Structures are given as structure tokens and as C-alpha cells.
Structure 1
Amino acid sequence: MNFIVDETKPSDSNEKKTGNNIGKTTVLRLINFCLGGSEKSIYQSKEFKNNVNESVKSFLTEQKVKVTLKLQEDLENPLSRQLTICRNFLSGSKKILEIDAKPVLAKNFDMELKKSIFGFEEAKPTFKQLKAKNIRDEAERLENTVRVLGNFGKLEEYEALYLFWLGVDYPDAEKKRLLLEERGLEEKLYNRLFNENSESKLKQFLKIIEHDIDVLESKKNSFNINEEYESDLDSLNKVRANLNSFYSKQSQLDLRRELIEESYSELKKSLVDSQAGLLAELYAQANVFLPNLQKTYDETVAFHNQMVHEKMHFIADELPTIDAQLIKLNSEIQNSLTEEKRLVAQLQKSDTVDELQEVIAQLNGKYEQKGRFEEKLEQLLASKDTLTNIDSQLASIDKSIYELDELIQDRVSTFNMFFSEISNNLYGEKFAMSATFEQKKNTEQHFYKLYIDSLDGQTGTGKKKGEIAAFDIAYVKFAEQLGIKCLHFILHDQMEVVDDNQIEGLVREVVSANCQFVVPILRDKLPASIDKPEYQVLSLSQESKLFMI
């Protein structure tokens, strides 16, 4: 048990003396920083992005502060495997970002930590998502037991995370995520095509055009023309047919490109500017009405923008291929136009009647119109087939996941043995977790969700934090029993709202578990029975703050 406390005593004569704002919570943020968290959380206000502690920021950069985090598999065995992570607050060539003294690129840091700690190399869940349960210093993790990714977390990301927690192998997590991304773009294309012309409407238009073509072909064939003219006319029709096909393909590619650019632009607009003062003021106003709100503005912005950038990269990936196809098509169109001009000039030298030229012009127009409608119908049907194919793949993946339901429920039952026992020890009430495979509204997709329930219904703030702590300790015991790799340290903020009896109970549970529980807490909120040196890892004061400034 590692309490981070202040040295303020209840008997201090100075009534203004306080144990707040001395760096207790900053310790948690420094640990999170070494594990890939944002440096801004160290010196910037959660609520007001413009409220920067310049003295702390300057200290960290000017003094070239380096933070080193050492992880060890067994703290009681000095020979057990260790991992050392170093970071500083500088940039460019002076930036330090190392794992076991080896420099790591920022873009690879999350994956390298995941491989080093969990031995896991799949794209999802990310290391940031995996550590979220263990570092509870932000609102979404302080208030939610299992929804540790907040409202920005997608259903497929939560599903991958939950199954990882349960030690259930889920190799199709990334494939499912990519299919859902692809489906979103394809559905947008299909809806746009369908809104312009339905499948039935296009087929009816084609029937009318084909009838008009039959009539004009019959009329054209009634003319008595020489073989040379007929041959040139056939060549011209083939060239124009090719042109129609090229124009249709060009139209299709232009439409596809336009849709991608629109989606890209919409996503770009959804990026949140960290300088958006109005939004920060909105967070401030929310804090007035909800005093307990622990909103982390910069972390929320960074998380949101990271997801948007990933989507932008995904949808723009097709643009180079489309541009190459358009260049090739333009070349083919120019060549065909040149040939068309030559054939028209040659035909105009022949003895023809105006009526025949008019019929041919009408016929060519009809063929061009037919080509456009056929291309639109082909696009619509192709998009429909793509959606059907994606849905089929998603259904297959969902089926393979649901086939693991017996294993999943068995793992949940094993977890609940620890969870219900710890919660019962703390509150005389047994909490339980359940896993359900639910269908997403208005779709055919299914996702696993986890729920926490109590026989007595909703819990208050203090009891909720006790529930979260019980969950985290129970998970360490569960993971150990099943051999699931996990972090054996738990960081919790704002434990002052928990009753003394439950804080004492948590200490007993931590001592009996193979985990390290780090908690910043005001000394006057610490029960006397556990206000002991062996439980206190760090003591700070107004005269001796964390950074000594």
C-alpha cells in the first residue's frame, strides 16, 4: 500500500495551511507520462487550457528534468525482469524517449510498451487503452468501472479491450475495426447513389432507352449506304461507345473522389483546436454546475484528434489509386477524341442525307444516355454488393466471437469469485460483473459489453470508488490465477470520498493481493489505524512540494 500524503497536521495553528496543491496527484501523472501520457497534464489545468503553471513548465524544460520509471516483475526479487522508461520535456534533438536505454520514436512508443509489458502486437487494444484501468486519474476512469475509454471509445474498441481483460484470444479485432471503417464509407456512397436514383428507377429508364435505340437502329438500317461508309460508321460508333464508357468511368471515379474529399473535410472540421477558448469556457461553466466534474480537456482533445486523424488517413488511402486511374482515363479519352474527329471528317466527305445524320446523332445520344444509366446502376449494385460482403464478413466474425461465449461466461464467473468476495468484505454486499453479446441499434453488428451490478441498485460516489477499487484488485487476482499478463500496480486519485471503514478494508485487501496500490490522499482524511510509515511512500508539504518550487 503506497499512500502519498501531506505533512499537514490537524493541530496546525495556521488555518490557511493545506495539503492541497503540493504535488500528490502529480506523482500519478508523472507515472502516466512515462507510460505515454501527455506532458501537459503535469503543468496545465484540466478545466482551463490557457491556465498553465508557467513556473512548473519552465522548471521542467529549463532544468532539463528527466523522469525515470522502473517496472519490475517482482519487487521482492531483485533478479526478476525489469523495464526502465525514461522521458523528458524537451523536443527535437534534446528529446529523451527511451525504453531500457534504447531510443524509441514517439509513433512507436505505444506499441513498444505493449510488446515489452504484455507481449502483445495486435493493433487493438492499444497500450493506452490497456493501462486505462490501472491509472485512474481522469474523470472517465474515476467514475466508470469498466467504461475506462470514456464516451469516445467505440464499441469494437471496448469489445477488444474486454476480451483481452478476460484472456480470450480475439485475433479478428483489427479486421473487425477496419471492416466497420470501410462499411461507414461505403454506406455513405450507397446512400448518395440511392438518393439520386433507386435501382428500380434506373432499370425502368434503361428499358425505355433500349426501346428508343431499337426504333432508331431499325430506322438507320433502312437507309441504303455503301460498305465503306458503313465500315467508317461502325468504327465511329465503337470509338464513341468507348468514349461513353470512359466518361462513365471518369464520372464514377470523380464521384468516389468527391465523396472521399467530403468525408476527409468533414473529419478535418471535427478536429478540436487546442486554442478554442469558447469550448474551454464551456468546460468551466460545466464545472460551476457540477463541482465534482473532473474533466480533462487536453486529454479529451488529444484522444479525439488521434481518432479523427486515424479515420482521415484511412479514407484518404484510396486517393492515389483514384488519381492514377483518372490520369490514365484522360489519356484514353484524348486519344479517342482525336480518332473520333478523324472519322467524322472522313464520313462528312461521303454522300449522305441530313436525315441519316440526324438518326445517327440521336442514336449516339441514346447510347451515351444508356451508358450513363448502366454505369449508375452498376455503381449502385456494386456498392450494395460491397455492403453485403462486408456484412457477411462481420457476421462471420461475430459468429466466431459468440462461439466463445461459454469460455467468456466461465471467465466472468471466475472473476466474480474475487470481485464479490472483496466487495462483500468492504460493504457487506456482493457486486458482480456480467458479459452480454448485444446488437447495435439499427445495425446487424453485435458487440460484447460488460456490466457491473449490485443487489442494492445504484451506488453513491464513495461507494462507487470503492466498487472501482474492488474491481481493480479483483482483476489482479483473477489475471494471476489464469496467467493473463497485466499490470500489478493500481493508481487511484480522489480516495477522500471513501469512508474510513472502506479505506481500512482496501488496505487489508491490497496487503493480501499481489499488487501495488498508489493513492494520493489528504492526511486528515487518512484513518488513524492506517496512518503508518510502512504504508506511506511519499510525504509532501507546502514547504516541501514535489518539484521544490
Structure 2
Amino acid sequence: MQLLELSIYKNKSLVRNIHFKKGLNLIINSASSSNKTGNSVGKSTLSRLLDYIFLSSGEDIYTEPEFSKVIPEVYSFISNNIIYVELYFKGHDQRNYKIGRTLTTSPKDSVFYVDGKISEKINYITLVSKQIFGQTSEKPSIRTIAHKFIRNTHEKMQNTTRFLHNTTRPDVYDQLYLFLFGFTGLELLRDKASLNNQIKTKNKHLSAYRAPHRESALQKMISPLKAEGALLQNRINDFDFKESQETDVKELVDIQRRISDSTIEYSNIKTRLNYLDRSILKLRENASSVDGRELSAIYEEAGVVLNGNLKRSYEDLLVFHNQVISNKIHLLISDYEEYRLEENKIKRRLDKLHELESGIFKHIKEPDTLKSIGQIYNELSIVKEQIAGISTLLHKIEDTKALIESLENKKKEIILEISRNTQILDENVEKFNEYFGALSKYFYGDRYIFDLEFDSEKEKCRFEIVNLAPNPTGGKKKGELSAFDLAYIEFINFKKLKRPTFIVHDSIEDVDVNQVFDIFQKANQLEGQYIVSLLSDKIAGSKFSNFKKDSIILELSEDDKFFKI
């Protein structure tokens, strides 16, 4: 990909058009014989407008960086006019695109454009993500990635690897560096987290099923119960009916058998209804006040990605959480109602059978005979219920064990794929260090190494820059940063990774002039774009004459400031 042009319009009239070059792109102030320093002409504005195109709030365009104090003339320029910023670029698919955004002091009022037509924000974001940043997943976000390529604040220029806000969570850096160095298993990590959560839940179910008896004990209970049932059935089969009552008693036996079977079925339905009732009650209790951070952690652990538009405030997280709970309750209630209908159906069948049973009782002339056979059937019914209950529990245990095994096998496959991705990541970092070490050695005589280590079990990254002169500051630190960012472009070109091939740096005046020259030389040989703003005094020497002749894309002055106001 390549940046081609940036254009700024005021009320549809062109204010400024900047053409980007391959290699070195310089933004400087015009040399002045007066005492003007060139610090307030808008050299940093181009980087901030690029950042605005990549979804920044744009506040840094009309405020001073140190105290965030509004710059009146710029604020008025934006507020009183329709300002439109448009970027023309070549995407990773080698097609040219135009994207634009109206510049306002209220980001929510921005209007987005793609190829000159008003676009939905989501379509704009998708295009930028894919064609500029090579990002097709939700994390890391465009805003997170953009900070690596647009270093337009003092903090970003002083921190080579930890350039995000100082409150940034470690997992954001993890996502960023895994993405930057070609780890394609971020979705696998989420799948693994989801499987871990499912396995954890099923293991809880399994523990509940095994209380108070494990399956080995349950299996041993069935044989004696079956033997007892067989004896009772034999007693029924061998029962000596009186001829005059044989028909009635046999009919009674059949009805009581059906009552026994229906009672077992009814008992199973009631067990399921009780389970659903407890589950619904528990979910309703959970739909209450919970700490927002705790909720966020719960969903991340479960592999649930919270939409980027969802604010991470306590209230919004609680609403999101309760909506998830509400959906689950709705599904359980639907199941509950179906089982309730089945319960009523069996209940009616039992009532009818009991009516038939009562009718036969009235015709039986010998109560002792009835009492004897009825007692045997009651005992058989109890035994059958016990066998059915144990069998159902054993089936649940075996089914749950099989499901856990299946989930564990899927997890093993994912872990194996993560391992392959981790190996590729290590190879990529090694290749990057070839370029990083060579450039840092060329600039300063010190070989720098980027040490990135990914623990796939903990899903955490550890990273640092290692060199023989620890903790460099000032100009040398910015030289380290230049080597890092230029090396990254060389690395992605070699690996053919779809990542931005431009970098934007601001204020390198405290870098030694000889190192500035070396950085410019390497940047000019780059299959990418190094866009840097600096004071013209820094490159006043004759050895910079060719760079000033060929690489200046924007020259500003007190009479020709960026917005021409």
C-alpha cells in the first residue's frame, strides 16, 4: 500500500494538496532571516490530519499539545466553515481509493466518505482496516495500530515499543504485537478461551452428577436392583388368580404396569422441570449489580468479544450482561413451557388410569388378593423408578464425559495450531531483528534486538529492546525508534505482510545531524514512506541539498501556515 495525496477543502474550495513520495518525505519551515523559529506554522498538522482520517478525535488539530489549550484561530476556522479532509491512497489490493472525513470539533458529527460518496461509518472503517492496516479482525483496533505508524507526540517519539497511553492494559499490547509480527492465531486464542470456559462448565456439571456417588458405585447399584425387579416380576407371573377374578385382576395388573411406567416418565419430567426452575431463578439472581470490570473479565474469559461501540462503563456493561441473561432466560422458559405441557399430558393419562384402577377395585371380591398383588406391583414400581433414576444419571455422566473429551480434543487441535503460529511468530521476530540490528548498527554502532516472547499458555507477551547501552534518551532514543520503524517496513516487505508501509515522525531536532543524514539516506532507499517534520535549520548543511531538492513535500512559513489562516 502507499499514501498518494492528502487534500484539505474549505467550503468545497481546495486549501492545500500534499503529494507523497516513495522514500523520504520532508515537512519543513521556510528559512527565515528573522528571529522566527518556525515552530508555529503547522508542521505537525499533516500528521494529525492523517491520524484524524484514521479515526482520531481530531482534538489535537485545534489544541496545543502541552496544556490542551484551544488555538482560537484554528478552532474558529473549523467551527465556522465546512472543512473536508481527503486521503488518496493505494490499497493492499493495488487499487486506488479515496477516503474522506469532515473535520469538526465534535467527532460524532463527522461525515465519512468513500470514493467521493457519503459512506456508513462501518463501511469506512472496514475499508481502512483492510486496505491500509491489513486488519480483518476487531482486535487490535485501528486506533491502537495507528499509534505505531503515526508518532506525532513527545511520548510516542520517546517510547519505541510502549507508545500507547500509560494506562493501556497489557493485553492490548499483546494483541498489537502479535498482529504486527504476523501471528495469525488471534481467533484461535479466542476459540481456546471459549473451549476452556465450556470445559470448565461441563466439569462442574460432571461433579454435580457424581455427588454423592461416582459412576462406578452407581453401576454396582443397578445389578441388585434388576435382580430384585426380576424376582418381583416372577411373583406377578406366578400369582395364583381365582378363576372368577382372573380377568379383572389381570386387567388391574396391566393398568398398574402402565401406571408404573407413566409414573417413571412423570418423575423424569418433574426432575427436568425442577432443574429448569432452579436455572431460571439463578439467572434472575445474577441479573443484578455486578462490578463492571468483573463483568468485562467474565466475557473475555468466555471468549465473548464486546463490540467496540459498547462503552466499557459500569452501566453499559450491566445492560449488556442483563440482556445476555434475559435471552438465556427466554430460551429456558420456552423449554420449561414445553415440558410443562408434557407434564400435564402425562398427568391426565395417570388420572385416567387411576380412574380405571378404581373401577376395577369395586369388582374385586377378595380384598386380600387385591392387596397382595397391589403390594407386589408397588414394590416393582419403586424398583423400576430407582433403576430409571440411576440409569438416567449414568447416561448424563457418560454423555458429559464424552462431551468433555470432544472439547478437549478440539482444544488440543487448537493448541497445536497456536504452536505452529507461535513458531512462525518467532521466525518473523528473528527476521525483523536482522534488519533492526543492521540499521541500529549503521546509525549508532550499537546492535539493537527486539525481544518478543509469547507464552501461549498464559496468552501473554513479554517484550523489550535489548542493546549494550541501556535506556538511551533524547536524540539517541529517537535514533533507536527510527531504526525500529524503518526495519519494520523492510521486514513486512520481505515477509509480504499486509501492514502499513509508511511511518510518520515528528520533531527529530535533538538527533545528531550525522545520524539524521544516515536516517534520511536509509529512508530514501526504502520501499515505503518515511514522513518526518523538522526545522529547516537542522538540514541547513550542504550535504542535505539533494534531500531538500527531491524530498520536501511541504514547506510552511509564517505567511503560509498549514490552513492558510
TM-score (ref. length: structure 1): 0.66
Question: Is structure 2 residue 123 aligned with structure 1 residue 108?
Answer: yes
3-state SS of the aligned residue for 1:491?
Answer: strand
Do residues 343 (structure 1) and 353 (structure 2) align? yes
Partner residue, 1:67: 85
1:186 and 2:193 equivalent?
no
1:535/1:156 Cα in 2 relative to 1: closer, same or farther (>3 Å)?
closer
Structure 1 residues 33-432: aligned runs within 5 Å: 33-39=52-58, 60=78, 63-72=81-90, 82-88=96-102, 96-117=111-132, 131-137=146-152, 143-145=159-161, 151-153=170-172, 158-163=177-182, 170=184, 174=187, 176-190=188-202, 192-193=204-205, 196=208, 201-203=213-215, 206-207=218-219, 210=222, 213-214=225-226, 217=229, 221=233, 222=235, 226-246=249-269, 269-270=292-293, 319=328, 325-351=335-361, 353=371, 359=379, 362-363=382-383, 366=386, 370=390, 373-374=393-394, 377-378=397-398, 380-398=400-418, 400-401=420-421, 409=427, 412=429, 414-432=431-449
Shift of 1:383: 5.0
CA offset at residue 388 of structure 1?
Answer: 0.7
Residues 513-532 of structure 1 correspond to what in structure 2 (within 5 A)? 513-519=526-532, 523=535, 526=538, 529=541
CA distance in 1, matches of 2:281, 2:473: 50
Please state how far the C-alpha of 1:490 moved relative to its aligned partner: 0.6
Shift in Å, 1:198: 5.3
Give 1:23 deviation, angstroms: 6.0
User: Hey, what does 1:470 align to over in structure 2?
Assistant: 483
User: 1:5-50 deviations in whole A, cap 9, x for unaligned?
Assistant: 679999859xxx9947x865554333122124445665799999xx
CA distance in 2, matches of 1:301, 1:314: 16
1:488 aligns with 2:511: no
Residue identity in the other structure for 1:143: N
| CA deviation after TM superposition for structure 1 residue 159, in Å | 3.4
If you compute each CA radius of gyration, which structure gives the higher value, 1 or 2? 2
Give me the whole-angstrom Cα distance separating, in 1, the residues matched to 2:177 and 2:286: 25
How far, CA to CA, are the matches of 1:461 and 1:264 in structure 2?
51
SS at the partner of 2:148?
coil
Q: How much does 1:193 deviate?
A: 3.1
Distance 1:262 1:45 in 2: 50
Give, in whole Å, the separation in 2 of the partners of 1:182 and 1:303: 23
Q: Structure 1 66/389 Cα, relative in aligned 2: closer, same or farther at 3 Å?
A: same
**Is contact 2:84–2:102 with CA below 8 Å preserved after alignment?**
yes
Cα separation, partners in 2 of 1:454 and 1:393, compared to 1, 3 Å? same
Structure 1 residues 504 and 173, CA, compared in 2 at 3 Å: closer, same or farther?
A: same
Aligned to 1:30: 49
The answer for unaligned runs of 5 or more in structure 1 is 75-79, 165-169, 274-299
Contact 2:181 2:429 in 1 (8 A): no
Q: What per-residue deviation string (whole Å, max 9, x for no partner) do you get for residues 38-69 of structure 1?
A: 45665799999xx8969777864663332212
Asked whether the 8 Å contact 1:217–1:363 carries over to 2, the reply is yes
The 5 A counterparts of 1:13-28 are 19=39, 25=44, 27-28=46-47
Aligned with 2:100: secondary structure?
strand
Contact 1:212 1:366 in 2 (8 A): no
Kindly provide the CA deviation profile for residues 106-139 of structure 1, in whole angstroms up to 9, marking residues without a partner as x: 2233332344447775777765566453223576
Q: Matches of 1:46 and 1:315 in 2, distance apart? A: 42
Aligned length: 493
Letter in 2 for 1:231: D
Give the Cα–Cα distance (whole angstroms) in 2 for the partners of residues 237 and 25 of structure 1.
86
What is the Cα deviation at residue 95 of structure 1? 5.2
Residue 537 (structure 1) aligned to one of 542, 551, 554: 554
Q: Is the 8 A contact 1:3 1:537 kept in 2?
A: yes
Return the alpha-carbon distance in structure 1 between the equivalents of residues 64 and 264 of structure 2: 66
User: Aligned-pair distance for 1:318?
Assistant: 8.8
In structure 1, the partner of 2:14 is none
| Cα distance change of structure 1 residues 272 and 207 upon mapping to structure 2, 3 Å threshold | closer
Aligned CA distance change for structure 1 residues 240 and 264 (closer, same or farther; 3 Å): same
Preserved CA contact (<8 Å) 2:140 2:176:
yes
Once residues 87 and 459 of structure 1 are traced to their aligned partners in structure 2, the CA distance between those partners, rounded to angstroms, is 40
| C-alpha contact (below 8 Å) 2:55/2:143 kept by paired residues | yes
Q: Closer, same or farther in 2 for the Cα pair 1:439/1:5, shift >3 Å?
A: same
How far apart, in 1, do the equivalents of 2:114 and 2:310 lie?
A: 23
Cα deviation, 1:235-272, whole Å, max 9, x if unaligned, reads 33443444454455567777888899999989993399
Task: Give me the identity figure in percent.
Answer: 19
CA distance in 2, matches of 1:205, 1:10: 97
Q: Secondary structure at the match of 1:67?
A: strand
Deviation at 1:519, TM superposition (A): 3.9
The aligned counterpart of 2:472 is 460
Q: Is this contact kept in 2: 1:26–1:42, CA < 8 A?
A: yes
| C-alpha contact (below 8 Å) 1:429/1:454 kept by paired residues | no
Residue 428 of structure 1, CA deviation: 0.8
Does the Cα contact within 8 Å between 2:31 and 2:537 map onto a contact in 1?
no
| 1:440 matched to 2:457 | yes
Query: Cα–Cα, structure 1 residues 486 and 229, in superposed 2: closer, same or farther, change >3 Å?
Result: same
Residues 324-375 of structure 1, C-alpha deviation per residue, up to 9 Å, x if partnerless? 6555444434433433443344445554648568747855764675367446
Q: CA deviation at 1:426?
A: 1.9
RMSD: 5.6
Shift of 1:456: 1.0
Q: State the Cα distance separating 1:538 from its structure 2 match.
A: 5.4
Query: Partner amino acid for 1:385?
Result: E
Distance 1:5 1:380 in 2: 69
* Other structure's SS at 1:133 match: helix
Distance 1:154 1:120, change over 3 A: closer
Cα distance change, pair 41–332 in 1 and its aligned pair in 2 (3 A): farther
Consecutive unaligned residues in structure 2, runs of 5 or more: 1-23, 242-248, 297-307, 362-369
